[in-house]
Amino acid sequence: MSSSSESMSERVAAELQHRIIVGTIPVGTWLRHDAIAREFGISRTPVREALRIMAAQDLVTIEPHRGARVNGQSSQDVREIGVVRAELEGLAASLAAVHIDDAQAERMTVAWQDFEAAFEVTGPGEELAERWMESNEAFHSTILEASGNRYLQQAIADLRRKLPHNISFGAYAGSSRLIARNMAEHQAIADAILAQDAERARTLMSDHIRSSVEAAAHWIERSS
């Protein structure tokens, strides 16, 4: 599959996931390849891949010749996954404080400084949401890479397939106060890692993940 097809599959999966979480697509709904392909103006190939992505997240169950049936994720599901992610990503941050190299430190810092600059210029909006997701992905992925532990990386990657870390932006969208708080949390984590304070980095990252997950869970409950 080409990179463009893969990107389209990921975008379709993200949009369908959003609809499931907020209740626009009810649990139990059958997702049909043809209908999705028509809506998004794409072929069936990226649709099939999008549904495979969602199946890996336990959002749907694929049944041959029928399509995919929506399982959904409740706010309780989000909280339970979040508890585990908070501990593992906290561990990753503590390891990164010990092992991060200069290039990784630069990528981690630039990722969030780039978003802060965009926020000051644009304020909340669709463009900012895209920048936030890119910066958030770069920030967390760099810290995970810097941990240097491939088994930890695999475990967190599996949890992210079930609960993507960018899902929390739905709770922040339209709120400058919440976005500013999120930025401050990232800055504090980066400072602790750069200061080689492993325990503080671990605590701040765990608290940050728990805060983000709780915001997402409340958002799901309000939207349902």
C-alpha span between 172 and 24 (Å, rounded): 19
Q: Within this chain, do residues 112 and 39 fall inside the same structural domain, yes or no?
A: no
Residue 193 near residue 143 (C-beta atoms within 8 A): yes
CATH of the domain at 7: 1.10.10.10
First to last CA, the chain: 35
The mean per-residue pLDDT over the stretch 99-123 comes to 85
Q: Are residues 93 and 194 in the same domain?
A: yes
Tell me, yes or no, whether 43 and 83 share the same domain: no
On whether both 51 and 105 belong to a single domain, the answer is: no
Averaged over 173-179, what is the pLDDT? Answer: 78
Indicate if the pLDDT at residue 4 is higher than 80. no
pLDDT at 38 over 90: yes
Q: Average pLDDT, stretch 106-127?
A: 76
**Number of domains making up the chain:** 2
- Whichever domain contains 118, its CATH number is 1.20.120.530
- The predicted model gives 107-111 an average pLDDT of 94
Among 70, 89, 107, the domain boundary falls at 70
Looking at residue 165, its pLDDT comes to 66
Q: Are residues 64 and 133 in the same domain?
A: no
Domain that holds residue 29: 3-70
Backbone angles phi, psi at 30, to 5 degrees: -90, 125
Output 70 or 93, whichever has higher pLDDT.
Answer: 93
What is the per-residue pLDDT across 12-31, written as a single tens digit (0 to 9) for each? 998 888 777 666 787 788 99
* Model pTM score: 0.75
54 and 83 together in one domain: no
Which carries the bigger pLDDT value, residue 174 or residue 52? 52
Residues 62 and 150 in one domain: no
